[in-house]
Amino acid sequence: MLLVDGLGRVTTQIQHYQDGVVGANEPTDQDLRTTTVYDMAGRRVATVDAAGRTTRFATTCATTWCK
Q: What is the C-alpha R_g of the chain?
A: 15
pTM: 0.68
Nearest to 17 by CA among 8, 5, 26: 26
User: At residue 59, does pLDDT exceed 90?
Assistant: no
Is the four-CA dihedral 59, 60, 65, 67 of positive or negative sign? positive
Q: For 20-57, what is each residue's pLDDT tens digit?
A: 566 677 666 667 889 999 998 888 999 999 889 999 99
